[in-house]
A = this chain, B = another copy of it.
Amino acid sequence: MKAQELHGHLDALLLAVLEQGALHGYAIIEALRARSDGSLDLPTGTIYPALRRLERAGHVASTWSTVNGRERRTYQLTDAGRRALAGERAGWREFQSTVGRFLDPGTAPGAPV
Contact = CB atoms under 8 A, between A and B. Distances in A.
Counting chain B CB atoms within 10 Å of each CB, the highest count among A1, A5, A40, A102 belongs to: A102
B39 A102 contact: no
Contacts of A88: 103
B89 A35 contact: no
A92 B102 CA distance: 11
A9 B13 contact: no
B1 A106 contact: no
A44 interface: no
A16 interface: yes
SS class, residues of chain A in contact with chain B: helix
Interface of A: 1-2, 4-9, 12-13, 16-17, 19, 35-36, 39-40, 85, 88-89, 91-96, 98-104, 106-107
Given A35-B102, A89-B106, 15 more contacts: A1-B91, A1-B94, A1-B98, A2-B8, A4-B8, A5-B9, A6-B99, A9-B99, A12-B102, A13-B102, A36-B98, A36-B101, A85-B106, A88-B103, A92-B103
B95 A16 contact: no
